[in-house]
Chain A
């Protein structure tokens, strides 16, 4: 946990179902997805951290027409979630019917989970708490 965090390792951690954001060494801001600079204090010193996995649904969509890589998974939800620690990430949304998106409420409390798609990739995902 002491090595300088990299984007490559960030993505590998998600693939291994072990999400770890960056954290600014100087001011403690939790940063995900990774950034080269902390927008709270300007520092470029980062370390790994962990989060509770709890968050709030900020907005979402249901993808019907996807790129070739993901078309077999469509329709699927994509959500922006604000984590308890303040940062926002993009991931999949579980626990709702993609053909009934009107049933999804913005502001819903969600928890971090993972989803391995037909593409073989593992994504960050969230489900209602």
Chain B
């Protein structure tokens, strides 16, 4: 049965990139944009669900939910942190959805943030590696990009996907982000540039990888009954799914698909009573270019092995039939880990209400977001629709 009661009434993000702001300052900015600046008084918020991945290693700070809420002027509220590596933001969102849907709260804040440029690139890489299986993968020298490279090699072998196909995802991401003022990289790149052979983990090159970023995102969820109090532009949450898989890539029988993505999206579609064909667009977790290709297949937009062709033919472009990552994705907008899932929801929200500016897609009644964690061991998929659609 589709969810009935949950509406997004505001959503916002800070600029992503290397920012001169601390974790709590970014968080407070995103919260202000999603509350007082969007017509939702902070006094209306009853609880907060916060996504952060690994502030312990990045800024030497644990227990972030009350800390961040305090700085954002929400001291006193129930504040809980949700951690699922790169899916931290979407697990916080899902907890918020369940809190509203159950009737437990009327209005809640969902927010995520990560400060990553406070440490060296090597230290940030080390922190990110904690999202993989330390004892059985990282200890052999496997890296985070390496895991996706292994998936890429399997996809290339099975379906004939090429390095150039992956580079096209990067070109598309940069093109879309070039008109997104909140993106880390607001510059188009050529296919030749995307193909620069600076390997991170063969066959993945520098331009196949999302960057290290600072940033925060926030949104407000409320009940259908209360939504009109805040805005005429609310977006319904009609389906949600979450699944987990083995941490260890070697334990997965299939390397060309992420099973948690398949299960989470099936469950979300089932709950919404819709199928992939009913989606106007998607926002997927493109931490690496191959991840977008695989995600576009896992959420059912394209048959297994057809994702690369869809990029090549422009089907997933801003003006294509099935746009994917219309604002520029993780690749070009940036990937402050804990913020990403909330930012993705914010992108779907903005596209649906028609507030995406130069990045507005033509058909935007129904959208899907896909946020996965680590090497695909966690996945959350949510489906949103215009309230009056």
Contacts and interface: CB of A to CB of B under 8 A. Distances in A.
Interface of A: 7, 11, 33-35, 58-70, 73, 75-76, 78, 80, 88-92, 101, 106, 117, 119, 121, 123-124
Interface in B362-381: none
A123 B136 CA distance: 10
Interface stretch (B164-172, B247-255, B291-299): B247-255
A67 B201 CA distance: 12
A117 B140 CA distance: 10
Contacts of B138: 67
A65 B142 contact: no
Chain A binding surface SS class: mixed
B200 A65 contact: yes
Given A59-B157, A60-B150, A70 B141 contact: yes
A68 B122 contact: yes
A22 to B, nearest CB: 12
A25 B147 CA distance: 31
Contact of B141 (A34, A59, A76): A76
Contacts of B204: 61
Contacts of A76: 141
A15 B154 CA distance: 29
A75 B135 CA distance: 21
Interface string B140-161: 1111011001111110010000
Chain B binding surface SS class: helix
B202 A64 contact: yes
A118 B13 CA distance: 44
Given A59-B150, A88-B251, A64 B140 contact: no
A124 B140 CA distance: 8
A35 B157 CA distance: 29
A92 B142 CA distance: 9
B137 interface: yes
Nearest to B141: A70
- Most central of A67, A73, A90 by chain B CB within 10 Å: A90
Contacts of A66: 141, 143
Contacts of A58: 154, 255
A89 B250 contact: yes
A16 to B, nearest CB: 15
A78 B141 contact: yes
A33 B248 contact: yes
B157 A67 contact: no
A90 B201 contact: no
Given A78-B150, A80-B255, A106-B154, A63 B143 contact: yes
Contacts of A73: 141
A35 to B, nearest CB: 8
Question: 5 nearest interchain CB pairs?
Answer: A61-B149, A33-B136, A62-B202, A88-B250, A70-B141
B255 A67 contact: no
Contact of B157 (A91, A106, A124): A106
Nearest to B202: A62
Contacts of A60: 150, 153
B140 A123 contact: yes
6 contacts: A61-B202, A61-B203, A65-B145, A66-B141, A88-B251, A117-B141
